[in-house]
Structure 1
Amino acid sequence: MLDWNPALYSRFEDERTRPARDLLARVAMDPAGVASVVDLGCGPGNSTELLVERFPQAFVTGTDNSEPMLVKARERLPSATFLLSDIGSWQPEVPPDLIYANASLQWVPGHETLFPRLLEALAPGGTLAIQMPDNRDEPTHRLMRELAAKSPWAKAIGDFSRFRTELLPLDGYYDLLAPLAANLDVWRTAYQHPMESPAAIVDWVRGTGLKPFADRLSPELQESYLAAYEKRIGQAYPERADDKRLLAFPRMFIVARKA
């Protein structure tokens, strides 16, 4: 997959940052007692900025596997530390008080081992806070897959089942972490985002979920794929009373305090 595009990702930064704020609001930690915070999959630093504001005395580190994202994050927050790393193999040198992962772990396989490992990596009494898009069954993502199985795009796109990790059900994550946690809070929310047009919805998902599909296509095939996708998006998300399209975006939240 080609590298992430910070400009495209940040086009809907307010909407993308809203669940990051909601996740952090449920982290019950006294800032005075937090020395180290890690933002796993920090992207361009929008979520890291929330952590710096909430924990001004802490050493805040952002990690990402995209150097262009890290360049933007460093420009945005020169006081924080940003490192290139892969979440699947990441290990902290010193156990942090908070591991925070906003919309990143859905790209990482092996949740059955990853999530307990992250919780165990914390300092005693530390908190693991996770938010993941849970929208694989929404029209935006169902239509990606339907078109990817059709000619003339199927051969170039290939096996799209590997593009994103299939999430466990919410109670599956509860059962996975409950034996290791002193306190565990899980919930699911469906945000409703008014969008100006089908093209705006396409722009939203091009920065994330649509990217691995489009990246595998030649310019000509990409143009036809996106045109067909936008047409179907227009049908799946009809105009509302104000002429906008309402994009439902379910997200899953997990906040676990280490026992």
Structure 2
Amino acid sequence: MKWDPNKYVQFADHRDRPFYDLTARITAATPQLVVDLGCGPGPLTHSLAERWPDARVTGLDSSEEMIEQARAKQHAANLSFAVADASAWMPAPETDVLVSNAMLQWIPEHRQLIAKWLGELAPGAWFAAQVPGNFGSPSHTLMRQLANSERWAPQLAGVLRHDDAVGEPADYLKILLAAGFESDVWETTYGQILSGTDPILEWVRGTALRPVLARLSDKDAAEFEADYARLVAQAYPAFADARGGSLTLFPFRRIFMVGRKR
């Protein structure tokens, strides 16, 4: 599945905020090695390099397109990027801070992976991750229902993850505590206001819809998107702003976990 870095950053204001809310809870003073796992096109990884200028900061992502763009815009001397498959990756023992923002939901076995990563980290190391918790929201349930419909099931059966793609906050808290971490786990629902025509479709084109688009021809993809846009327009009705423009409220739940190994 290929990623489009430009489409991914289309809603950067909304997508970036959870990263900063997450990393604000990390109070490491002078880390030596910081890893951003699932770094995407890299701008948020740059913020880690700026925050800890004496640390080696590495951004890793499985998408060659994402890493190519990240390297093209690299400007910090203490920063590097590399392609890596998170499902087969393990942190080096000297890793002081491990960050993963909106990536783990793509890996079915990520809860087992987290436990392994935490076991490899040294005492005093930090782990911080954020995953979307909106798989039960209309934006995702309608997409799965459409993909499983009579029209699309022959091409899309099994393509989309179900509503158990991520755990609940308590699940992640137990993993951190079992690994000997002082832990802080919470959830936030952001009241995102999107503008323009078919904004929910535009949003999912950068993330959740990618597996569908990868499976369908251009003609079929356009038909699927049109069907999906009609469904979510009913679930998320637009309203007018003070200037007569079109706005849509898109509530987005996210789950956060931060811990420091005792």
TM bin, normalised by shorter chain, reads: over 0.9
TM-score (norm 2): 0.92
Following superposition, the deviation at residue 210 of structure 1 comes to: 1.1
Q: Is the Cα contact below 8 Å between 2:64 and 2:83 reproduced in 1?
A: yes
Distance 1:4 1:12 in 2: 15
Q: 1:217 to 1:128 in 2, by over 3 A?
A: same
Q: 1:19 aligns to what?
A: 18
The letter of the residue matching 2:13 is: D
Within the alignment, does 1:248 sit opposite 2:251 as a pair? yes
Q: 1:53 aligns to what?
A: 50
**1:115-145 deviation line (CA, Å, top 9, x unaligned):** 1112122232000000011110111111110
Distance 1:42 1:163 in 2: 24
Q: 1:67 to 1:20 in 2, by over 3 A?
A: same
Q: 1:155 aligns to what?
A: 154
Count of aligned pairs between the two proteins: 256
Distance 1:179 1:48 in 2: 28
Following superposition, the deviation at residue 112 of structure 1 comes to: 3.5
**1:187-244 deviation line (CA, Å, top 9, x unaligned):** 0001111111452221111110111122211222111110010111111111235241
Of all paired residues, the percent bearing the same amino acid is 40
Distance 2:34 2:208 in 1: 27
The letter of the residue matching 1:246 is: L
The letter of the residue matching 1:113 is: Q
RMSD between superposed Cα atoms in Å: 1.7
User: Where does structure 1 lack aligned partners over 5 or more consecutive residues?
Assistant: none
Distance 1:5 1:233 in 2: 23
SS of residue matched to 2:151: coil
Q: 1:258 to 1:90 in 2, by over 3 A?
A: same
Q: Is the Cα contact below 8 Å between 1:198 and 1:237 reproduced in 2?
A: no
Q: 2:96 aligns to what?
A: 97
Q: 2:73 aligns to what?
A: 76
Following superposition, the deviation at residue 173 of structure 1 comes to: 1.2
Distance 1:147 1:126 in 2: 43
